[in-house]
Structure 1
Amino acid sequence: MTVQAGIPATPPRKRLTRKQRRLVVIASAGVVLGLAAGLVAYALRDSIVFFYGPTEIVEKGLTPGTRLRLGGLVETGSVERGANQRVSFAVTDGKTRTMVSYTGLLPDLFREGQGVVTEGVLEGAGRFRADSVLAKHDETYMPREVADALKKQGHWQPGETKPGAPAAPATK
C-alpha cells in the first residue's frame, strides 16, 4: 500500500471463496422459496374449507357468508324434494340440526340416517346453502371427521364399520 499526499490507500478487496459463494446462493434461494411459500399461503387463505358439525357452527359463532364443509347425519324425515332438482334436508350431530338447501343431483347413496358431508356457504339462523354433497362409493362409508364427531356425541355404534374404511363384503 502506498500513501499519496496524506490519503490512505484502500486495502485490496477480498474475493469470496467458493464456499462463501455457495452459502450466499443457498441463503438467497432459501429466502426466495420462503417468500414464495408465504405468498402461496396468503393466496390460499380464502379458499381453504374447514369441516364443522352443526354444534360446532353454533358454538364457534361462525358468521353468515362463511364457506365451509358441514357434516353429520341426514335427519330422518327431513328430506323434502322440490321442483328443478331442489332438495332440502337437515344435518344433525344428535345435539343440533342445520337445515341444508341444495340444487342438483344427489349421490345415489344419499339416504336419511346416513352420514353426509356438504360443502357450501353458511346463510345464518341454522341455514346452509350447499354447492355439493359428498358421498363415497361404498354405502357403509362414513368420513372420518363425521365418525369422530358422532363418537364425541355418543352416537357411534360399536358394530359399525371403522370410519374411513370400506365395509366388509356381505357373505351368503
Structure 2
Amino acid sequence: MKNIKKKRRIQIVAVAVVALTLSTALIGYAMRDGINFFRAPSDIIAAPPSPTEVFRLGGLVAPGTLVRGDGYEVRFVVTDGAADVPVVFAGVLPDLFSEGEGMVGMGRLEDGVFRATEILAKHDETYMPKEVADALERAGHWKPEDGARALQDALNTGG
C-alpha cells in the first residue's frame, strides 16, 4: 500500500512539472510579439537593430525638423541630444505632438529611417517618459530636477 502512494505522488509531481513547463512555454510564445524593447537614438546608432525587429524609439522631436508630406505622412527627427534618428510616420499624430517635445514611437528601422506604426506624445507639459528621461540623462542632456522646459530650452539654443 505504501508503494502505491509513493508512485501516485511521483506521478502527480511529474504531471505538475510537465503542466507548468507547457504553460510557461505557451505564455512565452503568446507574448513574443508583445514584447517591444525601448531604444534611444544613441542606442540605435551604436547598435542598429535588424530591419525585422519591432521596437520603441524615444526622445525629443528635434526643433525645425517636422515636415508634413502628402496625406497623412509626417517626417521628423528624434534626438536624445547625442544622436539623431529620422522618422517617417503615416497616420494621425496625437494632439500634444510638437517639436521640442518628448515622444515614443513603435516601428522598425529600415535603411537608417525609423518607420513608425504608432506615435505616442507626452500628456502634459511636465511629463517625460521614464525611458526617454533615462536615455537623455545618459547622453548628458537631462537632469530630473531641471524639468523638461530646461532641456527644451537647451536644445532650442543649441547648447
TM-score normalised by the chain length of structure 2: 0.81
User: For 1:150-165, what aligned pairs fall within 5 Å after superposition?
Assistant: 150-157=136-143, 158-160=145-147
Partner residue, 1:10: none
**Structure 2 letter corresponding to 1:78:** T
Equivalent AA in structure 1 for residue 44 of structure 2: I
State which structure, 1 or 2, has the greater radius of gyration over its C-alpha atoms: 1
| Secondary structure at 1:120 match in 2 | strand
Q: Aligned partners of 1:51 and 1:69: how far apart in 2? A: 5
Compute the displacement of 1:140 (Å).
Answer: 2.3
Which whole-Å CA distance do the structure 1 matches of 2:118 and 2:46 have between them? 24
Alignment of 1:66-145 (within 5 A): 66-125=53-112, 127-145=113-131
Pairwise CA distance, 1:78:
0.3
Query: What is the CA-CA distance between 1:154 and the residue it aligns to?
Result: 1.3
Higher helix share: 2
Tell me which of the two structures has the higher relative contact order, counting C-alpha pairs closer than 8 angstroms and 6 or more residues apart. Answer: 2
| 1:109–1:135 CA contact under 8 A, matched in 2 | yes
TM-aligned CA deviation for residue 23 of structure 1:
4.7
Superposition deviation, residue 21 in structure 1? 2.6
How far has the Cα of 1:111 moved from its partner?
1.1
Q: Secondary structure at the match of 2:11?
A: helix
The answer to whether 1:16 aligns with 2:11 is no
In structure 2, C-alpha distance between the alignment counterparts of 1:91 and 1:106, rounded to whole Å: 15
Q: Distance in 2 between matches of 1:120 and 1:111?
A: 19
Distance 1:24 1:114 in 2: 59
Q: Measure, in 2, the Cα distance between the counterparts of 1:27 and 1:137.
A: 50
CA–CA separation in structure 1 for the residues paired with 2:111 and 2:41: 12
8 A Cα contact 2:97 2:122, kept in partner? no
Q: Structure 1 stretches of 5 or more lacking a match? A: 1-12, 162-172
Structure 2 residue runs of 5 or longer lacking an equivalent are 149-159
Q: Distance in 2 between matches of 1:115 and 1:136?
A: 6
CA shift for structure 1 position 84: 1.0
Percent identity, aligned pairs only, is 48
Counterparts of 1:43 and 1:81, CA distance in 2: 37
